[in-house]
Amino acid sequence: MRIVLLESLGVARGYLDGLVAPLLSQGHSFEAYCRSDDVKENVKRLAGADVAIIANMPLGGQVISSCDRLKMISVAFTGYDHVDMESCLSKRITVSNCAGYSTDSVVELALGLSLAVVRKIVPCDGAVRAGKTKDGLIGNQLAGKTVGIVGTGAIGVKVAAVFKALGCNVVAYSRSQRDEVLSMGIPYLSLKDLMSSCDLISLHLPCNGETAGLIDRDMISSMKRSSFLINTARGPIVDNKALADALKSGSIAGAGIDVFDMEPPLLEGYPLLDAPNCVLTPHVAFATPEALQSRAVIAIDNVRLWMDGKPQNVVR
């Protein structure tokens, strides 16, 4: 079979070669490309391909429907909303993802962003470099605060455990309740009750038809003036214009945002760029060397096991 990697997986070529060597020894071919956002170029690259591997580059219906032989897409990412799933369904293409590869990395950045905004770490750094003092830069401690976890999948559960270890009172919202969460003494609330009662809210939801725009202007306006919003999940879950307005008006205290409704670089004038007490990172939560190596292993294993008739991590 012809296997085509359409973008870098962020690992050394020698490491990748080691992963695909067993496939090559079985007579399959493997080609790797640098990312292109040109539809025609991607159609050309996938011509005659049986398997496509991508990370977070969009793979739309125009490309998928043009690939007559394509049977499997291995998404080296947790989310797969950037793949046209309707086209995959109509062409009976198997889609697998790499859920779990970056759980620890995302949890750590969620905590890092929380500490950064609550303790005003970025402006404190600026003050020291400018020869200033801590005046006006005293933050709060997290211990004793109420933290809301929105989405209790693997990442949300681990973030909840971390905040509990810091002495926080943790509550949760999710479409379904998990015994694991309840056994930690974490109650589930309605989303509106969570948003209005928590000191810090951390989002850990996939982006789909039910969650896109979930944290809208109304939800943001229900937050306490002293509260913080952390998003290391998916950008379109939050109305970032409404979030920026809330930060600028002082309706909420701060935010830590790693994901947006576009991939960085952000356009000039993007609403959050001049919002106060808002720490922004360029969609980096998943990206540690350890996590990237893990996802490369899973992505290639997804292909190998699918070829063996034992598909794993199938999302369609």
- Measured from the Cβ of residue 248, the count of other Cβ atoms closer than 10 Å reads 14
Contact between 74 and 302 under an 8 Å Cβ cutoff? The reply is: yes
From CA 105, how far away is CA 264, in angstroms rounded?
19
- pLDDT mean over 67-86: 95
Of the listed 7, 45, 204, 234, which one is catalytic?
A: 234
pLDDT of residue 143: 98
In the prediction, which pLDDT does 233 show? 96
Catalytic choice (2, 82, 108, 263): 263
pLDDT digits (tens, 9 = 90+) for 233-270: 999 999 999 999 999 999 999 999 999 999 999 999 99
Note the pLDDT of residue 61. Answer: 97
Active site residue 41: no
* pTM, to two decimals: 0.91
| Catalytic residue status for 283 | yes
Active site residue 304: no
**Hey, what domains does the chain have and what are their CATH numbers?**
2-101+288-307 (3.40.50.720), 103-280 (3.40.50.720)
Please state, for a pLDDT cut of 70, what percent of the chain lies above it. 100
Q: Give tens-digit pLDDT for 6-24.
A: 999 999 999 999 999 999 9
Give the whole-number percent of the chain exceeding pLDDT 90.
98
pLDDT given for residue 123 in this prediction: 97
Please pick, among 204, 283, 295, 304, the residue that the annotation labels catalytic: 283
